Amino acid sequence: MTNINKFNGKSIVYSKFRPDYPDQLVIDLIDENNLNDKSVVADIGSGTGIMTRKLLNFGLKVFAVEPNMEMRTVAEEKLKSYKFYFSVDGSAENTSLSPSSVDFITVAQAFHWFDLRNFQRECHRILKPHGKVAIISNERIRETAINQEIESIFKRFCPEFKGFSNGLVDSKDIFDRFFKDDYSLKMYDNPLMYNKKSFIGRHLSSSFSLNEDHEYYPMLVEALTNTFEKYQKNGTIILPNVTKCRFGFVNNI
């Protein structure tokens, strides 16, 4: 299975239950990078359009680049009413966008799937002079008991589990190689609140999670349900989470 196909069969649950990003993050990106309603943003690895919609709601013109047809189709249906939304069948390494055509690039919860060097090359190709890239991720606070318990469940039932965000949260080196030295890091407290349905749905939407036809799927759902019941209060559970945004100029290849 290629990275492009890892979310096959999960686009609906992904769209419903994946967390959003703080408004303040987009406000800061707009202010610090002098973006406005004439700015063109490429949201690469845009998935079902969670970050794309956030950018559109702040008046930006967005080319949403996504290689997975199933995910892209969900986004197209969800965002079709936006005048300045443009869906693009392309990948991080081959966006199909014109040279020097975008002012800014966002990547939300997708960077860990990219080929670093080829994505760097594509960024240099499509960005206008002085354009920057923002790498955005929702990251669990792993030191908490509930997130450690969820991690142990995935290790037990999901053979493809390599750590949250494919282990990217543990690697500073990859960002140091991607960006030039003066890149910025901003963090936003973003605790995630779920009821039972959305808690289970969120975890079933992960690329490494099991599909319904897997023999261990019922056991995975049971384990997640037990964890929810253990930590819930009045039918709600809160997962400690921080949204991180790294942005700057792309390093030379």
Determine, yes or no, domain membership for 102. yes
In a domain, 77, yes or no: yes
User: Which CATH number belongs to the domain containing residue 106 in this structure?
Assistant: 3.40.50.150
Domain presence at residue 15: yes
Start-to-end CA span in the chain (Å) = 28
Pick the closest to residue 175 from 222, 199, 139, 202 (CA basis): 139
Cβ atoms within 10 Å, residue 201: 18
pLDDT for position 6: 54
Question: What pLDDT was estimated at residue 8?
Answer: 54
In a domain, 206, yes or no: no
Structure confidence at residue 26 (pLDDT): 98
Pair of tokens at residue 112: 């860990």
Establish if 158 belongs to a structural domain: no
Helix H or strand E segment including 50:
helix 50-57
Q: Which residues are paired to 179 by β-bridges?
A: 250
Domain membership flag for residue 201: no
Tens-binned pLDDT, residue by residue, of the chain (253 aa):
355 555 556 566 777 778 899 999 999 999 999 999 999 999 999 999 999 999 999 999 999 999 999 999 999 999 999 999 999 999 999 999 999 999 999 999 999 889 999 999 999 999 999 999 999 999 988 889 999 999 999 999 998 887 776 555 557 789 999 999 889 999 999 999 999 999 999 898 887 888 888 999 999 999 999 999 999 999 999 999 999 999 999 999 7
63 in a structural domain: yes
Count of domains forming the chain: 1
Question: Whole-model pTM?
Answer: 0.87
Other Cβ atoms closer than 10 A to 246: 20
Q: Residue 153: CB partners within 8 Å, gap ≥ 6? A: 220, 223, 224, 227
* Residue 170: predicted pLDDT: 54
**C-alpha distances in Å from residue 84, one per residue of 40, 56, 80, 81, 98:** 9, 7, 9, 9, 17
- Tokens (6 digits) for 152: 């142990």
Residue 105 is predicted with a pLDDT of 99
The range of the structural domain enclosing residue 135 comes to 3-141+166-190+242-248
Examine residue 232 and state whether it is found in any structural domain, yes or no.
no
What residues contact 193, with CB distance under 8 A and at least 6 apart? Answer: 236, 237, 238
